[in-house]
Amino acid sequence: MNTTNMLLATPELWVLTMACVILIVDLFLSKERRGIIHGLAMITLIFAAIITLRGNFIGDSASAELAFNGSFIRDSMGDVLKLFSFLVMGLVYVYAKFCLREFRMFRADFYTLSLFALLGVMLLISANSLVMVYLGLELVSLSSYALVAYDRDSRLGSEAAMKYFVLGSMASGMLLYGMSMIYGATGTLDLYQVSDAIQSMDSNDPLLIFGLVFLVVGLAFKLGVVPFHMWIPDVYQGAPVATTLFIASVPKMAAFAMAFRLLQTGMGELHTDWSQMLSILAVLSIALGNMAAIAQTNIKRMLAYSTISHMGFVLLGLLPGTASGYGAGMFYIIVYSLMSAAGFGMVILLSARGVEAEKLDDFKGLNQRNSWYAAVMAMVMFSMAGVPVFVGFFAKWLVIKSAIDAGLMWLAIVAVLFSVVGAFYYLRVVKLMYFDEPVTESRIDAPVDFRAAISLNGIMMLGLGIFSSSLIAVCMASFGG
């Protein structure tokens, strides 16, 4: 096997190059012409997608290929997740451009930082060794910390960034500590070799189990599941909404990939151990996320708790350790990213000059102000609540199916019960938009690309639901299920 094939990493190299190019180009641009940066970023994404797709035609898409001495892997799951990262990132840029302009924060830093974060996401998705996982993770995290503090004058933002940084570093430390233990126990960093090594040793080795526990803690923090969720509401609320939009969507796909690589590829032999841990995390997240969201009056915090519960559902897909379970989890995370992007996109849309529309009451009477945007938000909310035929239903259906397949009936029942609880606060948003009188009559205005993107994103909720077949097939095929 040719394990030094750098061409496999072409999309990553392209994004890296372009991030540097943007960094330099910005030096020579006057304030008025910063739109070029946005254009360059979009071109970066489009070509990254094209390169990834071409790679699929050149290589054999079914089998995985390794590069960089086995620490980088190109496989079908990675490609699909990367493609969706580009798509969601494109939506993020379109939404963010409008928002940053409104808030007079339209600088190139947002683009460079988020492109580096995207690079981290891609590396994380393709990581096949513990070191690469850590590298990718840190690249995402460090860029995100800076993005949270992007609005220098905001006290909330700085506080959130500080909190995120301290807690995030601790989680990274935990993860690193766990990795070192696993390295100590198996003598290798390569995930394939870790898996081989575990097969030939006593699976009750305390070093190994401790390593696993620390890994799961680190993972849980990055996914944001209970009880490692504390940072999420504060960061979501404190960060500028453009950053929240990013943090809530793209890196989650990387976190899913990281969980798959570490737990299945590396520690698949210890499935019984980690699936128990994950089931506790899943139940707690689904329960607490859905219940705490009810009490929120700030839409960013509400969506934060909703994220926590969604991540619980993703774990539900991961924990059976079956191909169809991973496929379900992957479908869920992709769908979640799209829903989340649309949700925060709507928050941006309603933000009037310099004031974020972060109160739930800002959605009051939206149907009377503009019935199409109200319909978009309603579709997002019904999708998040898991009402058919919106795509969120199919995501929930698949993970619940995989849990029932694995004989975890009680988990499935807990999950559906709390999704009914969750339906309440999503319905409340619909109620505010449709049944209440508007508090302001100001016109909702946005540039044409924004309107196109949010409309497309909303229609996806319905379209991907009715025509969910091919995406489900792709996700399942990624794991040979």
Partner 1 sequence: MASNWPILSLLIWLPILGGLAVIAVGDNRAQLARLLALVVSAATFVLSIMLFTGFDTSTAAMQFTEFKPWIETFSVNYSLGVDGFSVPLILLTSFFGVLVVIAGWESIQVKVNQYMASFLIMEGLMIGVFSALDALLFYAFFEAMLIPMFLVIGMWGGPRRVYATIKFFLYTFLGSVFMLIGLIYLYTQSGSWSILEWHQFPLELSVQKWLFLGFLAAFSVKIPMWPVHTWLPDAHVEAPTGGSVVLAAIMLKIGGYGFIRFSLPITPDASAALDWLIISLSLIAVVYIGFVALVQQDMKKLIAYSSISHMGFVTLGMFIAFGVFQNTESGRGAALGVEGAMVQMISHGFVSGALFLCVGVLYDRLHSRMIADYGGVANTMPWFAALAVLFFMANAGLPGTSGFVGEFMVILAAFQANFWYAFLAAVSLILGAAYSLWLVKRVIFGEVANNQVAQLEDINAREALVLGTLAVAVLLVGLWPEPLVNLMHVSVDQLLQHIQQPKFSAAGI
The residue ranges that bind partner 1 (CB under 8 A) are 367, 371, 382, 387-389, 393-394, 397, 400-401, 404-405, 409, 412-413, 416-417, 419-420, 423-424, 427-428, 430-431, 434-435, 468-469, 472-473, 476
Least distance from partner 1 to the Cβ atom of residue 398, Å: 8
- DSSP track, 188-244: --BHHHHHHHHHTS-TT-HHHHHHHHHHHHHHHHHHT-TTS-THHHHHHHHS-HHHH
Closer residue to partner 1, CB minimum distance, 116 or 434? 434
What is the distance between the alpha carbons of residues 12 and 52, in angstroms, rounded to a whole number? 9
Closer residue to partner 1, CB minimum distance, 298 or 368? 368
Closer residue to partner 1, CB minimum distance, 230 or 409? 409
Element housing 127 (H / E): none
| Bridge partners (DSSP) listed for residue 127 | 72
What is the distance between the alpha carbons of residues 461 and 466, in angstroms, rounded to a whole number? 9
Least distance from partner 1 to the Cβ atom of residue 5, Å: 31
Least distance from partner 1 to the Cβ atom of residue 339, Å: 16
Among 12, 87, 86, 11, which residue's Cα sits nearest to residue 55?
11
Contacts of 139 (CB under 8 A, 6+ apart): 116, 117, 119, 120, 123
Least distance from partner 1 to the Cβ atom of residue 65, Å: 25
Among 446, 435, 424, which residue's Cα sits nearest to residue 345?
446
Closer residue to partner 1, CB minimum distance, 250 or 454? 454
Least distance from partner 1 to the Cβ atom of residue 307, Å: 21
What is the distance between the alpha carbons of residues 39 and 94, in angstroms, rounded to a whole number? 10
Closer residue to partner 1, CB minimum distance, 243 or 419? 419
Closer residue to partner 1, CB minimum distance, 143 or 367? 367
What is the distance between the alpha carbons of residues 16 and 342, in angstroms, rounded to a whole number? 27
Q: Which parts of 59-75 fold into alpha helices (H)?
A: none
CB burial readout 242-258, b (16+ within 10 A) else e: bbbbbbbbbbbbbbbbb
Radius of gyration, CA atoms only, the chain? 21
- Phi and psi at residue 359, in whole multiples of 5°? -85, 145
Least distance from partner 1 to the Cβ atom of residue 462, Å: 10
Least distance from partner 1 to the Cβ atom of residue 441, Å: 15
Least distance from partner 1 to the Cβ atom of residue 367, Å: 8
- Phi and psi at residue 152, in whole multiples of 5°? -60, -30
Least distance from partner 1 to the Cβ atom of residue 338, Å: 18
Closer residue to partner 1, CB minimum distance, 453 or 475? 475
DSSP state for residue 437 in the 8-state scheme: P
Least distance from partner 1 to the Cβ atom of residue 434, Å: 6
Contacts of 295 (CB under 8 A, 6+ apart): none
Q: How many CB atoms lie within 10 A of CB 180?
A: 13
